[in-house]
């Protein structure tokens, strides 16, 4: 209730004054919280809803929050497009180095992992330096052991270290099981040096025995690595309890600012509403929600009368398999030809530094001109091979023109998928640069 | 076993070469581990022993480690001076904001806290901006509520923010109980913005009802603070299970490098062996153990023949009430007159920047000359009112001359008493500066 007053008050002032910079009553966090609309949206979602794992009542609460918030902000046709998926929840997770005094490890089950037996799995560690080494090992190499894969992710502005590092999380359990391992434990896919384990989705293969899979924090992985380097055999105990949730409910929240000339033509701004369960998902992806919501309003201007419809889609169940992205594409299959552009914000709050695209040859000059209009914000022109992001990639494949606005992800993987992804990690100034970039892009396409 | 070879190999080379910089086989952690003796000692204690709460088998393992290590390093008269104390262990701790979707909080029981009832305590929060505000509240002010004390510690080179901030941890449960609170929850006494709660000892007063007491991380405290600032009533659930351990065993590990001219006169270098249970206690106080051990050897020189005896005391049960400090003073009461100087390392690995003291007027010129000999290492002369540190303060009070070497503690309270106090937080270069400073001081007093 109080939030409605906050945000509605803020945007009300914005509408009256014709600008989106407003001065509502200050809410202080650790640092003084900047009072911009985008910051307030991220603050409200992370503080009032908090963690919101897909398929759980917390994601449902996030949808309720989103519907309320978008209505308060004068979006129209605000609705939930429901779907279900195969859900998963963690119930208990423990790990310890038992060979050296029962040292508890900071551990997180990977999303989708099966449970261990109730008494846990206690076994020697097969120390595997990297996922590539795992792939090179022969069948049976890890029989009776817990496979520990140690490679460390490299930080990069474009997040390019993630793709390589995430292979062990995504397919490590399959490849370790093929080689006889009892369980998989990985060094977290993340660039911090803390004791926060990073969770994230993992996969099984129908033809390979399922084994439990978990990540330990980087600092805990260091501990295992050091013992190994000292020549000391390491024994781990791993206990996971997880639960599959068949037909878990989720949904995409869709909201429009109707176009006045070509209302059927849609400029789509995407982010995802769900978060991992370990933390409140500030940079993944409350700030994405904040960026696209604030940018849509800014693009529409105080009159709220763009030529084409500006649509915000807050996707459900992204983290756990991009189910929302698939659901939207399916529900709107017949209408995708009317989507004139789609873009997504799902990489934290670093400043946008690159405008990539996926446009037809005929359309490229227009895309180039939009990119050129972002130069004063520090944005360079990228290539024309952008996927756009997890939720909208399916749209791009179906022919929807894509803009990929690359944010600076240098520190993104310090917090991503951890308990430590909290509001204080948000760079408020960079958040506003994002809003301005997304707003200019949305405005250009909406009023083309 | 492997460690013996490592450290003994290192110091063996050092003895042969007459210098303490050696190049044993590299052990890599997250970053390449510098191969100095001090670093190796900190590495060995944190990696092979890990967390070592006073009074538990893990502290006993640390004593075994210390005896083995000090003997390997050619100290003599290596012995344990045992004592017992009233111990405490944590068994379970959980907290959540239940008024806004059951958001789990990162929480740690304060050391010594009683348990909550098994079902936990669920109650509205009385939001208290600071410990000073708590003291100003009238009796009954927090009846039926969980008192939440929010003041944030300020980082400072000399750690001076700690004394003020720690009052709420030390006496908050007493003062909150006087005012009717059901439990105390504090913002962690620490300067980070993570989700690691900081533990630490707390006190009860015999005349006041005991209530459970815990700390939430700074990021979690922000969440409570924001909800409060938004005008939203917060309800918390707190569940603690702890256990008192009567007559818990501990001990001080004492080791000497015997003086050749005045063996009965002792230069005492102190650190503590125990750590809090949440993490492996790298900067609190494995690095102190490493600094004083390496410095004693460096001061004694390759011949190991100082004029006076250089003694290393690795105290037990410091964190939980400075029991080791008291036990040593008691056991050596008749011998304290022979202690010509005591100094302590228990503030991480920041560079030493100040030499303070507690010396007689007659001795001051000599202390000044020792301080002057540290100027090239960036050390300034402090005052003559140093306590020396927690474990040796009792010696200072009994008349033992004290040197207080103040380390740069700017980031110390980011990690102190948390799970995140791991080896990667150690600044290897600063560690060596510490060793050199402590060695020069020890040498000056030993060979005076």
Each residue of A302-341: pLDDT tens digit?
Answer: 999 999 999 999 999 999 999 999 999 999 999 999 999 9
Q: Do B104 and A61 touch (CB under 8 A)?
A: no
Count the helix, strand and coil residues of chain B and give each as a percent rounded to the nearest 5. 35, 25, 40
pLDDT tens digits for range A9-28? 333 333 333 333 333 334 44
Q: Find which of B226, B282, B286 to mutate to test the A interface (most A CBs within 10 Å of its CB).
A: B226
Q: How far apart are the first and last CA of chain A?
A: 38
Under the phi-then-psi rule, with left for phi > 0, alpha for psi from -120 to 50, and beta for the rest, what region is B231?
left
- Note whether A108 and A197 are within 8 A (CB): yes
Among B43, B101, B225, the residue with its CB nearest the CB of A226 is: B43
Q: Which two tokens stand for residue A369?
A: 């001109």
B223: chain A residues, CB-CB within 8 Å: 47, 50, 280, 422-423
Q: Which helix (H) or strand (E) holds A395?
A: helix A393-397
Reduced to 3 states (helix: H, G, I; strand: E, B; else coil), residue A45 is helix
Q: Do A196 and B193 touch (CB under 8 A)?
A: no
Give the pLDDT of residue A35.
Answer: 78
pLDDT in tens, chain B (448 residues): 333 333 443 333 333 333 333 333 344 444 554 579 999 999 999 999 999 999 999 999 999 999 999 999 999 999 999 999 999 999 999 999 999 999 999 999 999 999 999 999 999 999 999 999 999 999 999 999 999 999 999 999 999 999 999 999 999 999 999 999 999 999 999 999 999 999 999 999 999 999 999 999 999 999 999 999 999 999 999 999 999 999 999 999 999 999 999 999 999 999 999 999 999 999 999 999 999 999 999 999 999 999 999 999 999 999 999 999 999 999 999 999 999 999 999 999 999 999 999 999 999 999 999 999 999 999 999 999 999 999 999 999 999 999 999 999 999 999 999 999 999 999 999 999 999 999 999 999 999 9
The mean per-residue pLDDT over the stretch A70-91 comes to 98
| Chain A residue whose CA is closest to B422 | A219
> In Å, how far from its chain's centre is CA A239?
27
Q: Token match 């996030």: residue?
A: A62
| Chain B residue whose CA is closest to A58 | B101
d(C-alpha A46, C-alpha B75), whole Å: 56
Backbone angles phi, psi at A122, to 5 degrees: -115, 120
A193, A236, A97, A128: which is closest to B423 by C-alpha? A193
| Longest Cα separation, chain A | 72
Cα–Cα distances in angstroms (integers) from residue A52 to residues A47, A190, A249, A279, A430, in the given order:
11, 21, 13, 9, 24
Give the global pTM. 0.91
d(C-alpha A445, C-alpha A342), whole Å: 10
Q: How far apart are the first and last CA of chain B?
A: 38
Among A28, A193, A419, the residue with its CB nearest the CB of B229 is: A28
The mean per-residue pLDDT over the stretch A111-130 comes to 98
| Chain A residue whose CA is closest to B6 | A230
A219: chain B residues, CB-CB within 8 Å: 30, 420, 422-424
Q: Which of A225, A318, A344, A436 is catalytic?
A: A318
B27: chain A residues, CB-CB within 8 Å: 226, 229-230
Among B2, B50, B100, the residue with its CB nearest the CB of A48 is: B100
The mean per-residue pLDDT over the stretch A33-61 comes to 94
**CB-defined contacts A:B, below 8 A:** 137
- Note whether B137 and B148 are within 8 A (CB): no
Q: Do A222 and B43 touch (CB under 8 A)?
A: no
Q: Which helix (H) or strand (E) holds A76?
A: strand A76-97
d(C-alpha A215, C-alpha A212), whole Å: 11
Give the pLDDT of residue B20.
Answer: 32
A227, A151, A226, A229: which is closest to A191 by C-alpha? A151
State the pairing for strand pair A107-109/A213-216: antiparallel
- Note whether B283 and B39 are within 8 A (CB): no
The mean per-residue pLDDT over the stretch A261-282 comes to 98
Q: Which helix (H) or strand (E) holds B263?
A: strand B262-272
Q: Which two tokens stand for residue A254?
A: 């869709």
Among B6, B225, B419, the residue with its CB nearest the CB of A106 is: B419
Q: How close does chain A come to B140, measured CA to CA in Å?
A: 28
Q: Do A226 and B27 touch (CB under 8 A)?
A: yes
Count the helix, strand and coil residues of chain A and give each as a percent rounded to the nearest 5. 35, 25, 40
Q: Which of B93, B225, B265, B318 is catalytic?
A: B318
A33, A50, A47, A38: which is closest to A10 by C-alpha? A38
Under the phi-then-psi rule, with left for phi > 0, alpha for psi from -120 to 50, and beta for the rest, what region is B247?
left
Q: Which helix (H) or strand (E) holds B241?
A: strand B235-257
**Cα-Cα-Cα-Cα dihedral sign, residues A255, A259, A264, A265:** negative
A53, A61, A65: which is closest to A319 by C-alpha? A53
Give the Cβ contact number of residue A15 at 10 Å.
Answer: 18
Q: Which two tokens stand for residue A289?
A: 């929600």
What's the pLDDT band for A6 if we cut at 50, 70, 90?
Answer: very low
Q: Tell me whether residue A385 is one of the annotated catalytic residues.
A: no
State the pairing for strand pair B183-187/A213-216: unpaired
Q: Give, as one character, the DSSP assignment of residue B414.
A: G
B336, B341, B312: which is closest to B444 by C-alpha? B341
- Note whether A413 and A190 are within 8 A (CB): yes
Burial of A168 (C-beta count, 10 Å sphere; 0-12/13-18/19+): buried
B74, B66, B63: which is closest to B11 by C-alpha? B74
> Does the pLDDT value for residue A251 go beyond 90?
yes
B402, B372, B373: which is closest to B387 by C-alpha? B402
ipTM of the complex: 0.90
Note the residue count of chain B. 448
Q: Do B195 and A420 touch (CB under 8 A)?
A: yes
Q: Do B58 and A101 touch (CB under 8 A)?
A: yes
State the pairing for strand pair A235-257/A76-97: antiparallel
What does the H/E/C string look like for B79-94? EEEEEEEEEEEEEEEE
A425: chain B residues, CB-CB within 8 Å: 193
Reduced to 3 states (helix: H, G, I; strand: E, B; else coil), residue B185 is strand
d(C-alpha A367, C-alpha A209), whole Å: 48
d(C-alpha B387, C-alpha B343), whole Å: 9
The CB-side HSE value for A202 (13 A sphere, CA atoms) comes to: 30
State the pairing for strand pair A262-272/A308-315: parallel
Backbone angles phi, psi at B167, to 5 degrees: -60, -40
d(C-alpha A234, C-alpha A128), whole Å: 13
The CB-side HSE value for A98 (13 A sphere, CA atoms) comes to: 14
Q: How close does chain A come to B194, measured CA to CA in Å?
A: 6
Enumerate the H helices of A230-309 as residue ranges: 287-300
Q: Do B232 and A48 touch (CB under 8 A)?
A: yes
B350, B333, B345: which is closest to B268 by C-alpha? B345
Q: Do A6 and B230 touch (CB under 8 A)?
A: yes
A270, A311, A309, A310: which is closest to A289 by C-alpha? A270
The CB-side HSE value for A303 (13 A sphere, CA atoms) comes to: 5
Q: How close does chain A come to B197, measured CA to CA in Å?
A: 12
pLDDT tens digits for range A362-389? 999 999 999 999 999 999 999 999 999 9
Q: Do B194 and A194 touch (CB under 8 A)?
A: yes
Q: Which two tokens stand for residue A108?
A: 């997180």
């Amino acid at each position: 209730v109080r939030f409605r007053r906050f945000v509605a008050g803020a945007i009300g002032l914005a509408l009256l004054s014709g600008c989106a910079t407003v001065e509502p009553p200050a809410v202080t966090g650790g640092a003084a919280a900047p009072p911009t609309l985008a910051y307030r949206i991220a603050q409200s979602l992370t503080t009032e809803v908090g963690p919101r794992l897909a398929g759980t009542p917390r994601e449902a609460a996030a949808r309720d929050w989103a519907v309320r918030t978008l209505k308060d902000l004068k979006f129209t046709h605000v609705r939930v497009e429901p779907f279900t998926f195969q859900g998963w929840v963690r119930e208990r997770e423990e790990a310890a180095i038992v060979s050296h005094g029962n040292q508890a490890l900071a551990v997180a089950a990977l999303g989708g992992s099966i449970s261990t037996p109730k008494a846990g799995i206690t076994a020697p560690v097969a120390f595997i330096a990297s996922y590539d080494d795992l792939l090179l090992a022969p069948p049976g190499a890890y029989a009776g052991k817990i496979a520990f894969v140690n490679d460390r992710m490299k930080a990069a502005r474009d997040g390019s270290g993630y793709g390589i590092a995430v292979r062990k999380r995504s397919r490590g359990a399959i490849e370790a099981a093929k080689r006889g391992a009892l369980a998989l434990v990985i060094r977290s896919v993340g660039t911090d040096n803390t004791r926060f384990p990073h969770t994230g989705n993992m996969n099984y293969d129908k033809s390979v025995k399922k084994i439990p899979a978990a990540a330990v924090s980087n600092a805990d992985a260091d501990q295992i690595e050091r013992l190994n380097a000292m020549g000391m055999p390491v024994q781990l105990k791993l206990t996971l309890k997880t639960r599959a949730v068949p037909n878990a409910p989720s949904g995409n929240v869709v909201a429009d600012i109707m176009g006045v000339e070509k209302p059927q033509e849609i400029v789509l701004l995407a982010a995802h509403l769900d978060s991992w369960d370990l933390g409140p998902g500030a940079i993944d992806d409350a700030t994405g929600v904040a960026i696209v919501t604030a940018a849509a309003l800014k693009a529409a201007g105080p009159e709220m009368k763009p030529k084409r419809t500006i649509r915000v889609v807050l996707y459900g169940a992204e983290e756990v398999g991009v189910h929302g992205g698939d659901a939207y594409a399916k529900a709107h299959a017949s209408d995708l030809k009317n989507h004139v552009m789609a873009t997504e914000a799902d990489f934290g709050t670093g400043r946008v530094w690159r405008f990539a695209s996926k446009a037809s040859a005929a359309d490229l000059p227009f895309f180039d001109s939009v990119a050129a209009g972002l130069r004063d914000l520090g944005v360079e022109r990228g290539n024309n091979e952008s996927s756009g992001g997890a939720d909208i990639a399916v749209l791009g494949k179906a022919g929807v023109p894509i803009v990929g606005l690359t944010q600076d992800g240098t520190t993104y993987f310090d917090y991503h998928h951890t308990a430590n992804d909290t509001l204080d990690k948000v760079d408020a100034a960079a958040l506003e640069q994002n809003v301005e970039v997304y707003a200019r892009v949305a405005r250009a396409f909406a009023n083309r």
